[in-house]
Structure 1
C-alpha cells in the first residue's frame, strides 16, 4: 500500500509540467518515497536514493532499485523531497545540483508547513529563476534548464559541506537532520543515567541514532560483550561508529541500517531504546507501536530486560507480555 504523501504527489504534478524525457534519459530521485504517479513515468534509467530504511524498503517492494549515488553521476533531471531540517535540506539541494547535467532540471516538493517557501528561495539562490505550483498545502518547484553560469558555485560548495559529520555542542559526532543532532536528547540522557552497571551480555540498541545511548552503555556496563545498534537513518551510521570508536571497550560492535519493525536477527540479554515517537514534525505514535513489535520472543533470551525512557509508552506493556519484566 502506498503511503499518503501529498508532497510526493505534488512532485508528480510538477513533473507533469515538463516535456517528456526519452525512456533512456537518466533521472535521479533523492529522498525518494513511494507515490502512485511513479508507476506511469519511472523508467529503468531512474535511480532512487533514500536514507530512511522503511521508505527504501517500500520502494524496493514496488520494484524500484534503491542504491547509493556515485559522485560522478549526472542526470537529465533530479527530483528531491527535502527533509524539514534547514541545513540538511540545503545540503541535499546542493547535492541535487551536483548530480544534474548541463541543461538538466531540478524539481522539488515540500509541505507548506515544512518550509516549502524557504526551500523555494534556497533553490532560487543556487540555480536562478524557478517556476512553482501549489496544491494540497504543498509547493512544487522546478528550475529552468541549468546553465553553469547561472549556478552559484560558491554557495553550492558551502551548502554541500553542511552534511559533513561534525562534533555537536555536547562533544559527540553528529550531523544536521538526525534526531537531536545538536544536543543530547533529555529522554536518552535520563535513560542512560538509569542503566545498571550490572547489565551484561548481548545488548541491542533500537533506533540508535548517532550512538549516544550505546556510548553510555559501554562506559557504564563493563559486562557487555556484544552490542548491536539498529538505526533506520543511514546518515546516522557513520557518526555512531565514530562515537563508539572514542569509547574504550572490549565488546564486539555492529552498526546496522535496519527497520526494526521487521524484527531482529538474533536474541539478546537486554534491549535499550528511545522509541521514535516523531517523524519530522508529525506526531506519529504508530512508529512507536511498530517499533515495539521488534523484540518478539525469538529475539529475547529468558529473563531479558528492556529499557525505555518512559513509563507510559505501549512498549512497556508489550515488553511485559513478551519477557515478563521491564524497566522504564
Structure 2
C-alpha cells in the first residue's frame, strides 16, 4: 500500500522523528527493514538511510524513488534500525531479533504496526527482547522504540526467535517452507486443484507465474515428463529462495531458471505452457483482481501461438473478460471448493501487451 493511498503505518513510523521525540542519528547510519516507498520517506532528508525489501514491487518502487537499497546478507550494524513488521508473528519476531542484531551499540530499534495487525503484541514482543519500550499511537497504528541498546536483553530468546523464521520441512517433508510466504505451512487448496487437473501431455518450455515456494512447478515437472525447461517467476525473494531447494531434484532433467520479478511488469519469453495461481492481494487484504488480470495479459503475450495457460482462481474473481479478449479458446476445466481451473489456448494472432 502506497503512503499517498493511505499508508498510515509508514507515516506513523516516522512520527517520532518529525515531532522531536527521537533524534535522527548524526552518524552511524540507519537501516529500514521491510521498507516501503511513499511521501513520508521523502518529507525531509534522512541521512545515511539504507532500505531493505524482499518483495520486488516494493523494492522497484524504492529504487525508482532514489532510495539506497541494501542486501539481506549484509551484516553491517547501524545506529538506527526501522522496522515495518509483517502480520505473521513468527516472521515478525524473527525480524525483531534481526533488527537488534543489526543495531550498533548505543543504537535504537523503532517499529510500527497497525492496531488491527497486532500492534500490542508486537510492542510486547520487542520489549521481551530489548527491555522497556516507549510508544506513540496515531492513525490507528502504534510506533514503538527501544532505549539505546547493547545487544538483546534476553539473548536466549533472541536466538530462539531468530530461528522462528528459518526454512523447515512441511507436508511430511515433501517441501521446505518458512513463515510469512504464501500458504507457508501447507499446500494451497487452489494450487492443489490446478495440479490435479494438469494433463500429462503438456510439453516444451514452461513458466510458473507467481511460483511461491515451488509447489506448482514441482507438480508440473512430476506429472509432465515432456517439459524440457521451466522458468519460475516470483516477487517475494524469501519464497523464491525456497523454490531453489524444492526444485533441486529436477535440475539434472530440466533446464531451470529462477527470476525475482514482478510479473505485472511483463516477462520475456516464448513458452508452450504457463501455469499460474495469480495473487489477488498486494500486501494488504483488499481484493485486487487487477493483478490477476495483468498476469493473464502477460501470460498471453509470453505464450507461443497455440501455447496453453493453466490457471486457477477464486470463482468470484472476474477474469473471464480478460481471458476471452486475450485467448482464442477458453475452457473451465473444473469448479470445486470455491475455485475454478481454466485452460486457455493462445490463438495464432500475436497478442499485444
TM-score (norm 1): 0.93
CA distance in 1, matches of 2:222, 2:300: 28
Q: State the 1:43 CA deviation.
A: 4.0
CA distance in 1, matches of 2:13, 2:213: 31
Deviation string for 1:5-31 (max 9, x for gaps)?
A: 111111011333202322x43100000
Summarize the alignment of residues 278-297 of structure 1 with structure 2, pairs less than 5 Å apart: 278-279=281-282, 282-285=285-288, 286-297=290-301
Residue 199 (structure 1) aligned with residue 202 (structure 2): yes
Look up the SS of the partner of 2:264 in the other structure.
Answer: helix
Q: Is the 8 A contact 2:299 2:309 kept in 1?
A: no
CA distance in 2, matches of 1:143, 1:82: 15
Q: State the 1:72 CA deviation.
A: 3.2
Residue 125 (structure 1) aligned with residue 128 (structure 2): yes
Q: Is the 8 A contact 1:173 1:239 kept in 2?
A: yes
Q: State the 1:170 CA deviation.
A: 4.4
Which region of structure 1 is more displaced relative to structure 2, 3-12 or 109-118? 3-12
CA distance in 1, matches of 2:69, 2:104: 21
Aligned to 2:229: 226
CA distance in 2, matches of 1:138, 1:146: 24
Q: State the 1:304 CA deviation.
A: 1.5
Q: Is the 8 A contact 2:104 2:150 kept in 1?
A: no
Which region of structure 1 is more displaced relative to structure 2, 62-71 or 122-131? 62-71
Residue 96 and residue 111 in structure 1: after superposition, are their counterparts in 2 closer, same or farther (change >3 A)? same
The unaligned stretches of length 5 or more in structure 2 are 332-341, 343-353
RMSD between aligned alpha carbons?
Answer: 1.9
Q: State the 1:284 CA deviation.
A: 2.5
Q: State the 1:237 CA deviation.
A: 1.4
Aligned to 1:321: 325
Residue 292 and residue 141 in structure 1: after superposition, are their counterparts in 2 closer, same or farther (change >3 A)? farther
Residue 115 (structure 1) aligned with residue 128 (structure 2): no
CA distance in 2, matches of 1:201, 1:312: 32
Q: State the 1:55 CA deviation.
A: 0.5
Q: Which of 18, 25, 28 is residue 22 of structure 2 equivalent to? A: 18
Aligned to 2:307: 304
Q: Is the 8 A contact 1:14 1:142 kept in 2?
A: no
CA distance in 2, matches of 1:170, 1:308: 26
CA distance in 2, matches of 1:79, 1:36: 16
Q: Is the 8 A contact 1:27 1:75 kept in 2?
A: yes
Q: State the 1:37 CA deviation.
A: 2.0
Aligned to 2:349: none
Aligned to 2:168: 166
CA distance in 2, matches of 1:256, 1:3: 29
CA distance in 1, matches of 2:284, 2:89: 13
Q: Is the 8 A contact 1:31 1:81 kept in 2?
A: yes
Deviation string for 1:102-128 (max 9, x for gaps)?
A: 110101111111111110000000001
The unaligned stretches of length 5 or more in structure 1 are none
Q: Is the 8 A contact 2:77 2:102 kept in 1?
A: yes
Over 6 Å off, 4+ runs: none
Aligned to 1:54: 57
Look up the SS of the partner of 2:186 in the other structure.
Answer: coil
Q: State the 1:316 CA deviation.
A: 4.3
TM-score (norm 2): 0.87
> How many residues matched?
325
Residue 284 and residue 114 in structure 1: after superposition, are their counterparts in 2 closer, same or farther (change >3 A)? same
Aligned to 1:35: 38
Summarize the alignment of residues 269-284 of structure 1 with structure 2, pairs less than 5 Å apart: 269-279=272-282, 282-284=285-287
Residue 214 and residue 249 in structure 1: after superposition, are their counterparts in 2 closer, same or farther (change >3 A)? farther
Q: Which of 246, 251, 256 is residue 259 of structure 2 equivalent to? A: 256
Look up the SS of the partner of 1:246 in the other structure.
Answer: helix
Look up the SS of the partner of 1:37 in the other structure.
Answer: helix
Residue 4 (structure 1) aligned with residue 6 (structure 2): yes
